[in-house]
Amino acid sequence: MHPVSAPPVGGSSACIQDQQIRYYQYEPIPKGTQGGAGRATGTRQTRLLELRRKDDGTVEYSLSVHNLADVDAQYDAISYCWGDPTMDHTITVDGALLRVTAAVVAMLQKDQQIPLMRTIYRGARKVVAYLGDAPDAALAADFVPKLAIALAKQATVLRARGGFRDTDGHLDGFEPAALPGQVDDWRALLNLLVDPYWSRTWIIQETVLAREIELLYGGRGLDWDEFGVICAALRGPKGGLVCVFLGSTPGLVELYMPAMQGLGQIFGIDTQRKRLFRIHDDNTKMLLPYLIAECCQSKATCPEDKVIGLLGLGRGGIDDDDWSELGRDTRELLLPDHARSVLEVYGDAVEFSLRQNCFALLNIAGCYYKRSSLDLPSWIPDLSAPPEIYPLDSVASKYKAGSPYTANFLIRLDRRRLRIYGWLFDEVAAVGSAPAPTSGGLAHEAPQMPLESLEFWRRLSGQHREAWRLVEQHLPRGRHPITGEACWRALCRTVVGDELPDSERLDTNLFDKVLDAYNAFAFFGACMDWRDKTLAKGLDPDTMDLPPVPELGLPDMMLESEADWLNETLFALRMLPGYEQTIPAKVRFLYRMMARKMMLRSFAITKEGHMMLVPPGTKKGDAVCIFAGAKTPYILRRDECHPPRDAGEMAVWEYGDEEDEIWQLYGEAYVHCMMDAQILGKRIYQRWFELR
């Protein structure tokens, strides 16, 4: 039976009269045959809607089936997010009434058309992204081109003086005072960034694939390139001062964090467009599992669409030009099929990822992260409730903990267990408390308040003071027992994950800059404590000299390894007017370094003395392991409550028997001095881990 826009039912005369009206009936699109790896062959057809304005000003529509391989099929595509699903509209199509409802849309050969999404949106002349209406939409539409021009001019000046650099921690970027616009203009821009459109999963594919994008906002057109200039400016390091302005200005601060989340989505779309259309020669398409992880914060009505909605993008996705590098079995894992359960769709995505020796989806899995009601195993990420933390394994990450091996694994047929090969090399000995919760999630890298405020220093220093105490309690004084470096320096590398925000690893010069900033952070915090104690005694600290370094209450390990730096800094504070103004800028630099690392994780120490950054809630006794081929280590927890095995359960394994121990994946970890294949130097045999 063909899907039909059904008339109302009922016994009234109005209903009888309504039943005499001709309603539009869809003609089914012929199905193509399935070729290798499930690729559709033959005619690839879809419906195109033609709009015609009549002499009386009304619009009539015509629906027809077109072959997407037909070069004469010129069309525009629309990208939008659904509004209220209970609302419907009636239009006239080919002389018949068509009631446009969410139910009808869901019926129209969904699984046949989704594999064509890439072809449909990439073949369109342009994609019109409809963002809806807002009271200040016209204000935003007027402000965007003015701001884009001003940012381009400032960028030219900054490049002329050597580019966008941090010099001794100072931000060198766009100056808010030199940019156009009043508070109302900036508020209108932030409202544009928080539009619900940007939060949806499906719009990512639709906009990334577009040859040309036109943004339609409140009936006004916006140029994508101008919009992209603004988003890149705010997102990049050169936008730091503008972000501080937005995050501290009354009337804007309440929109700032939601806008930064929307900004991350828009920036990701622009980045993927550059990769897809090869704007830079060295830009290749992102491997699909990384794309799924990068976009996990987006929203979808159906949980499985967090995977299916991205299949037209990335290396290894459906209709990929480079599909031949994948085997048939691997390729068939990611064919769109809404008849399959969320467990099957997400589980197949993990299997696809591991077959590509990519652990990105395991790095956003784990029983630490909040889990929805989907009842997924710990090793399958719950993409419907993604972690509000940036994973250590990203497409840019240069960690290689499990190299040069490749993933060796088995997944049980019912997708309930994963057996994976690796090393169990240590155990958690002590863990700090969880960091304070943040509503910013991935956008936490941009501070909301002026960094010079005392409240900020107190909030930031608490987690570090606890880490200092743990190191002094659990590690011997002097040199680190594993690396041989000073413990304070090992701690400095740990709190930033031994890399810059762009994943560049710390060489000697970069580490010296980070160490200088970390020293300034610890020293400035001690000075703030001294001021508080002095004020509590009824004295004025501004009329007094700072006490000697040993009396500031700094960690012993810092006093031992950084004595020269401390004495030089104390001398500069006493003798050089204005020197103290350089310290907050250095710590602002450190804040950005830590934002995706220690700011959202707990500090921990292993039995052997490794310093770690782990998921909050990690416990003493949890296992620390590395899987063959993975970029990072993981925290595992023994599952003491798994049910006894029976013969039926054994039968669902395709190969081999179960392991004696059952584990749960708790989450990823940074382990100092274990991120660069140092596991090869340890006399530890590989073993199987069975995860549930």
What DSSP line would sit under 143-180, residue for residue? HHHHHHHHHHHHHHHHHHTTSS--BTTB--S--GGGS-
Q: Alpha-carbon torsion 283, 287, 290, 294, what sign?
A: positive
565 pLDDT higher than 90:
yes
Q: Which two tokens stand for residue 248?
A: 């501290």
Integer Cα distance of 179 and 181 in angstroms: 7
Q: Give the pLDDT score at 46.
A: 87
Residue of 621, 623, 601, 625 lying closest to 613 (CA atoms): 601
506 pLDDT higher than 50:
yes
pLDDT tens, residue by residue, 509-559: 889 989 999 999 898 888 888 888 899 999 998 888 888 888 888 999 999
Please report how the helices 240-248 and 224-235 are oriented relative to each other, as an axis angle in degrees rounded to 10.
90
Q: Give the pLDDT score at 79.
A: 93
Q: Which two tokens stand for residue 419?
A: 């057996």
Residue with tokens 């099957």: 344
Integer Cα distance of 342 and 305 in angstroms: 9
**For the purposes of burial, counting CB atoms within 10 Å of the CB of 2, is it exposed (0-12), middle (13-18) or buried (19 or more)?**
exposed
Q: Give the pLDDT score at 636.
A: 98
Q: Give the model's confidence band at 374: pLDDT under 50 very low, under 70 low, under 90 confident, else very high.
A: confident
- What b-and-e string marks burial along 289-306, b requiring 16 or more CB atoms within 10 Å of the CB? bbbbbbbbbbebeebbbb
Partnered with residue 486 across adjacent β-strands are 479
| 514 residue type, one letter | V
166 pLDDT higher than 80:
no
- What b-and-e string marks burial along 41-68, b requiring 16 or more CB atoms within 10 Å of the CB? eeebbbebeeeeeeeeeeeeeeeeebeb
pLDDT tens, residue by residue, 338-357: 788 999 999 999 999 999 99
Q: Which two tokens stand for residue 332?
A: 């068939």
Partnered with residue 614 across adjacent β-strands are 602
**pTM for this model (two decimals):** 0.84
The pLDDT mean for the chain works out to 81
State which of 93-97, 141-145, 230-234 shows the largest mean pLDDT: 141-145
> Looking at residues 377-406, what average pLDDT do you find?
91
Integer Cα distance of 113 and 145 in angstroms: 37
Residue of 514, 498, 513, 509 lying closest to 674 (CA atoms): 498
Q: What angle do CA 395, 294, 212 make, to 5 degrees?
A: 100
CB-CB neighbours of 19 under 10 Å:
12
Q: Classify strands 687-691 and 662-668 as parallel, antiparallel or unpaired.
A: parallel
279 phi/psi in degrees, rounded to 5: -65, -35
Q: Give the model's confidence band at 589: pLDDT under 50 very low, under 70 low, under 90 confident, else very high.
A: confident
Integer Cα distance of 86 and 106 in angstroms: 14
Residue with tokens 């994948």: 326
Q: Flag the least confident range among 4-18, 121-135, 360-374.
A: 4-18
Specify whether the backbone of 474 is left (phi greater than 0), alpha (psi in -120 to 50) or beta. Answer: alpha
170 phi/psi in degrees, rounded to 5: -75, 140
Q: Give the pLDDT score at 237.
A: 65
456 phi/psi in degrees, rounded to 5: -65, -45
Q: Flag the least confident range among 201-215, 537-551, 650-664.
A: 650-664
Q: Give the pLDDT score at 42.
A: 45
Using an 8 Å Cβ cutoff, are 298 and 265 in contact?
A: yes
Integer Cα distance of 610 and 595 in angstroms: 21
Q: Give the pLDDT score at 3.
A: 39
Q: Give the pLDDT score at 29.
A: 82
> Looking at residues 612-622, what average pLDDT do you find?
95
**Maximum pairwise Cα distance, the chain:** 95
Q: Which two tokens stand for residue 117?
A: 């999404």
Partnered with residue 50 across adjacent β-strands are 62
Q: Is 85 helix (H, G, I), strand (E, B) or coil?
A: coil
Report the Cα 331 to chain-centroid distance in Å: 25
Q: What angle do CA 682, 688, 691 make, to 5 degrees?
A: 120
The residues, ordered by sequence, that sit 6+ positions from 56 with a Cβ below 8 Å of its Cβ are none
Query: 3-state SS string over 530-590?
Result: HHHHHHHCCCCHHHCCCCCHHHHCCCHHHHHHCHHHHHHHHHHHHHCCCHHHHHHHHHHHH
341 phi/psi in degrees, rounded to 5: -75, 165
Q: Is 172 helix (H, G, I), strand (E, B) or coil?
A: coil
pLDDT tens, residue by residue, 24-59: 888 788 776 554 444 444 457 888 899 988 888 888
Query: 3-state SS string over 611-669?
Result: EEEECCCCCCCCEEEEECCCCCCEEEEECCCCCCCCHHHHHCCCCCCCCCCEEEEEEEC
Q: Give the pLDDT score at 383.
A: 92
